[in-house]
């Protein structure tokens, strides 16, 4: 392949940053209407992702996310949030995704 044809090929870049901070907070779930714990992850540019530990409902930056159409979708969301919380380090030094001066 010649260099000219190489440059003509389209390139795709997918931006998928990882969460930089994790929290557990007590709140009233808007789905199950009970006071419960929420596992939250902060991702720069995208905000907070939250999962209710009682009912398994997920929010991404305050927006209610639809459940997957499969059995045990709520339990799967709870297990995924718990496992991600356990594996993630306490807090990244670059919490808000800003470059240090």
pLDDT in tens, 13-44: 677 778 888 999 999 999 999 999 999 999 88
Pair of tokens at residue 8: 């003509």
Split into its structural domains, the chain has a count of 1
In a domain, 97, yes or no: no
In a domain, 1, yes or no: no
Kindly report the three-state secondary structure assignment for every residue of the chain: CCHHHHHHCCCCCCCCCCCCEEEEEEEECCCCCCEEEEEEEEECCCEEEEEECCCCCEEECCEECCCCCCCCHHHHHHHHHHHHHHHCCCECCCCCCCCCC
In a domain, 64, yes or no: yes
In a domain, 36, yes or no: yes
Dump pLDDT digits (tens) for 46-88. Answer: 889 999 999 999 999 889 999 889 999 999 999 999 999 999 8
- Domain holding 43, by residue range, is 21-87
Least Cα distance to 64 among 29, 34, 93, 37 occurs for 29
In a domain, 30, yes or no: yes
In a domain, 44, yes or no: yes
In a domain, 95, yes or no: no
pTM of the model: 0.73
The answer to whether 30 and 47 are in contact (CB under 8 A) is: no
In a domain, 7, yes or no: no
């Amino acid at each position: 392949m010649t260099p000219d044809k190489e440059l003509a090929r389209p390139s795709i870049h997918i931006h998928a940053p990882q969460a930089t901070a994790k929290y557990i907070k007590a709140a009233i779930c808007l789905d199950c209407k009970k006071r419960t714990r929420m596992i939250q992850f902060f991702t720069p540019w995208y905000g907070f992702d939250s999962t209710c530990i009682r009912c398994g409902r997920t929010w991404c930056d305050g927006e209610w996310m639809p459940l997957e159409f499969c059995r045990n979708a709520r339990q799967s969301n709870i297990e995924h949030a718990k496992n991600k919380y356990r594996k993630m380090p306490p807090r990244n030094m670059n919490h808000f995704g800003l470059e240090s001066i």
